[in-house]
Amino acid sequence: MSIQRTTTSSPPQWKKYDVFLSFRGDDTRKAFTDYLYASLVHQGIITFRDEPELQKGKAISSELFSAIKESRFALIVLSPNYASSTWCLDELVTILDCMKATEMTVLPIFYNVDPSDVRKQAGSFGEAFTKHEERFRDDKEKLQRWRSALTQVASFSGWNSKEWYESKLIEDIVDVIWKKLQPILFSSVENLVGIDSRLQPINLLLGAGVDDVRFIGIWGMGGVGKRSRLWLPKDINYVLSKNTGTEAIEGIFVDSTNESGVEVDVNAKSFSVMSKLRYLKINCSNLPDGLDCLPNSLRILKWTGYPSKSLPQHFNPEKLLDLSLCHSVNILSTPDFRVMPYLELLTLEGCRRLYKVHPSIEELSSLIVLNLKDCKNLVHFASSLHGLKSLKVLNLSGCSRVNKLPNDMGHLENCLEKLDVSGTGIRELPSSIGLLKNLQDLSLRGSAASFRHYRSFHLMYG
């Protein structure tokens, strides 16, 4: 196998976000944009999703301006009603201003609109401006800024949704962004069928903007070319047990259950110098001396069988998006979630001794999935769900000691799609559950909950 390494001439400037996503919520929030956002995040692309409808009547805030400025790319979803929102138009002007002042790349997505309508402000864009001209007839300068911004963005290379199946469109957008984010890539030579898809997860871990080192563990049968995120499991074990890592490492994947039989012993200070570590996935390990620290730079932390009772005291991962500590039987309580305000995925499945969820969980406005399945010692997980404005999936299956849901479940009316309380001690669902208009999957199988008040939901009960 022959593999070539290609590099760019200079490293990109470090940004807080990979992508800023601009869209008209009424058009695409619950469909196209939601799927696009989920696909970007799944690929490990750090994405800021603005919610214009939550900002009605407000000017572009300093926080939002900072998010735009701190993004490598801006994806503009130009949908039929995009121009009817003055917020979206102001946001677009700000994005183009930042593009001129920074290295931001702006990529338009013409979603069910003709690019020429955007460029000429015709069709639905023309109708929107007819109303704007009446409302802002004394502010011609603002109107001209908006028109100029639309004309400019319509001239950029992007995607026209009318030419794609939607799933393929999203796949291509994510692929283009991902490839543009990688300044150092491995690319296969011609005629190596299927190699690109196998190199993609490796490139994700290798993504770096400078000449530095990455550690990758690969395991498999002897004699299949492993020695050509390369390092064997015993080498990874050496790095973690002897504390020989460096700040250059951005991704680590460790599986101590693989066929090599190598057990990973993690030194208490293993991660002390890995200040750029973004992705850490460990399947079981030993912590003979506990763990002093984890890098605050982490975006994704998946540690199956985490052996300590809690995460390190001074672990403050402000940018963490995904926290999974499945089957960590020693975990007694969760961390204070105020140090990870942008968390989107929280999975604590099988943490049998977990008895307490920190009340700050109620403040995680970006949380999409909360999985507490089979936390059999858990008695109480939240007093209120009012702040969980993005929660789509709540899984309490097997939490046999949980006997009550928060009374304000109705506040999740616009987001919650799946609720699993099977095998719990819940006898009565709160009356506000009837407000959950987006609920598609409700499972009560094996729980004590009464069905008599909820037949009108016309849902499929497990």
CB contact set of 40 (below 8 Å; sequence gap of 6+): 18, 19, 21, 47, 174, 177
Q: How far apart are CA 216 and CA 281, in angstroms?
A: 12
The string of DSSP letters for 353-404 reads T--B--GGGGG-TT--EEE-TT-TT--B--S--TT-TT--EEE-TT-TT---
Q: How far apart are CA 310 and CA 336, in angstroms?
A: 11
> CA torsion sign, 369 to 375 to 376 to 379?
negative
Q: How far apart are CA 154 and CA 288, in angstroms?
A: 59
Catalytic residue among 53, 63, 70, 91: 91
Q: How far apart are the first and last CA of the chain?
A: 50
Q: How many other β-carbons are positioned within 10 Å of the β-carbon of residue 57?
A: 6
204-216 core/surface letters (b: 16 or more CB in 10 A; e: else)? bbbbbbeeeebbb
Q: How many other β-carbons are positioned within 10 Å of the β-carbon of residue 63?
A: 7
Q: How far apart are CA 330 and CA 207, in angstroms?
A: 34
Continuous segment of H or E residues that includes residue 140? helix 140-153
Residues facing 217 on adjacent strands: 231
Q: How many other β-carbons are positioned within 10 Å of the β-carbon of residue 392?
A: 18
As a whole number of angstroms, the longest Cα–Cα distance in the chain is: 76
Which DSSP state fits 333?
B
Q: How far apart are CA 75 and CA 58, in angstroms?
A: 22
Q: How far apart are CA 200 and CA 179, in angstroms?
A: 9
Tokens read off for 123? 């069709």
* Backbone region of residue 400 per phi and psi (left: phi > 0; alpha: psi in -120 to 50; beta: other values): alpha
HEC letters along 153-191: HCCCCCEEHHHCCHHHHHHHHHHHHHHHHCCEEEEECCC
**CB of 92 closer than 8 Å to CB of 122:** no
For residue 377, which of 334, 411, 433 has the smallest C-alpha distance?
334
Q: How many other β-carbons are positioned within 10 Å of the β-carbon of residue 140?
A: 10
Q: Is-catalytic flag, 91?
A: yes
Known catalytic residues?
Answer: 91
